[in-house]
Amino acid sequence: MMRELRYRDRDTVIHRLNPVVKLVWGIGLVVLSLLFSHPVYLVALLAVILIMIRLAGIWREWTPVLKLCLWLGVSIIIINALVSYHGDHVLAEAPFTLPVLGQPVITLEAIAYGAVMAVKLTIIISAFTFINLTVHPDDIMSVLLKMKLPYKSVLVTSLSTRFIPCLIDDAQRINDAYRTRGALPSTGNWFSRIKRQAGIIIPLLSSSLDRAIQVAEAMEARAFGTGQNRTYYKNVVLSGFDWLILVCVLLPLVAGILIRVFGYGDYEYFPVLQSIHFEGVPFILLGILLMLLLSVIPLAFIQRRVEFD
């Protein structure tokens, strides 16, 4: 799965967008999903990120992420239902009481709350997957540098992501060697198996350290960290049109904050689920928000036309 989540060049309107635009758009979406707790708003935001993923042609790479989200979502719903005893609609009652917590009950409200949390999580993970799959990692680095983050920290981050696939290969190989030495028998209880599995950690660490030293050496040999003013060969440059799009992708964020300030987009789960009363002003506001969020799509198409002419 890690391999599929690596950036690959593609020729879609989304991939052609300026990296700054995609970063701001994606992070904006994450912020919006945290701002709102109304289920309709959240479902709408989920729909928006799905449309973008589809347009960027990364649906296939995203499906394993969806699977992960489903697993996480189901576990969130179950755990939340088991430990949160708020809410008036009791669906089931335990025949005993726990110290401190009281009598365990499963309520409709707790399940609904868990479900909405799961949707939120799916939006956030999908938004980061979207950024990861549509922005060249080196461009992310350039953007971070443009935001005046220190070069060395940014480089360390990008180096560690670059070596994750190597680390996975190392782990696979060492694990194979370990198995062939009879160290991971198919019998035994799960605890002893986990304990045995830990045996690959030392060889794995040691191979990573070797790698780190070699990388450091190669960097030193090419004058890294000489204290001079470093220049940057490839910079992310914003054209006039990019600035226009950037403003447009900032608008939904502003709109979202205003909507919350005026008291819309909120939702009460406890003690009783609020009725999803959704017409008039909240409906119009959500419409505006979605239009602003999706405005990046027509702009991207227009930009491509302009570039071709």
Partner 1 sequence: MIELRDFTFTYNGAVKPALQDVNLAIEGGEFVLITGPSGGGKSTLCRCFNGLVPHFYGGTVGGKAEVQGMDILRTPPKELAMKVGMVFQDPENQLVTSDVEREIAFGLENLGFPVNLIARRVEEALDTVNIAGLRFRRHHELSGGEKQKVAIASVLALHPDVLVLDEPTSELDPQSAEEVLRLLERLNDELGITVVLVEHRLDRVVHLVDRIIVMNEGGIRTDGRPREVMKNDGLGPGTPPVIRLMQRLREKGLEFDELPLTVKEARLKLQKALGKVNTTRPADEHAAKDPVMNIDRMWFSYGDRTALRDISMTVNRGEFIAVMGRNASGKTTLVKHFNGLLRPGKGRITLDGVDTSRYSVDELSRWIGYVFQNPNDHLFADTVEEEVAFSLKNRGVAPEEIEKSVERMLQRFKLTEYRKSYPRSLSGGEKQRLALASVLVTGPRIIVLDEPTRGMDFALKQELTGFLTDYCRDGNAVVMVTHDVETVAECADRVVLLSEGRVVVDGSRREALSKALLFSPQVNRLAQALSSYGVADTTLTVDEMLGQIT
Per CB under 8 A, does 233 bind partner 1? yes
Per CB under 8 A, the list member of 154, 158, 246, 302 interacting with partner 1 is 158
**63 vs 206, which CB is nearer to partner 1?**
206
Per CB under 8 A, does 9 bind partner 1? yes
Per CB under 8 A, does 258 bind partner 1? no
Angle between helices 281-294 and 240-261 (to 10 degrees): 160
User: Residue 11: how many CB atoms within 10 A of its CB?
Assistant: 8
**104 vs 137, which CB is nearer to partner 1?**
137
Question: What angle is formed at CA 32 by the lines to CA 30 and CA 35, rounded to 5 degrees?
Answer: 115
**Measured from the CB of residue 223, what is the shortest distance to partner 1 in angstroms?**
4
Dihedral of CA 277/282/283/287: which sign?
A: negative
**148 vs 277, which CB is nearer to partner 1?**
148
- Helices and strands of the chain, counted as H and E runs: 13, 2
Per CB under 8 A, the segment of 22-30, 158-166, 246-254, 278-286 that binds partner 1 is 158-166
Per CB under 8 A, does 197 bind partner 1? no
Per CB under 8 A, does 243 bind partner 1? no
Length of the chain in residues, anyone?
Answer: 309
**Measured from the CB of residue 76, what is the shortest distance to partner 1 in angstroms?**
31
DSSP letter (8 states) at residue 150 = -
Per CB under 8 A, does 232 bind partner 1? yes
Question: Tokens standing for 137?
Answer: 């990692």
Per CB under 8 A, does 176 bind partner 1? yes
**Rg of the chain (C-alpha set):** 24
For the chain, the first-to-last Cα distance in angstroms comes to 39
Per CB under 8 A, the list member of 47, 72, 90, 207 interacting with partner 1 is 207
Is residue 286 a contact partner of residue 260, using CB atoms and an 8 Å limit?
A: no
Summarize as ranges the residues that interact with partner 1 (CB under 8 A).
6-7, 9, 136-138, 155, 158-159, 162, 165-166, 173-174, 176-186, 199-200, 202-203, 206-207, 210-211, 214-226, 228-235
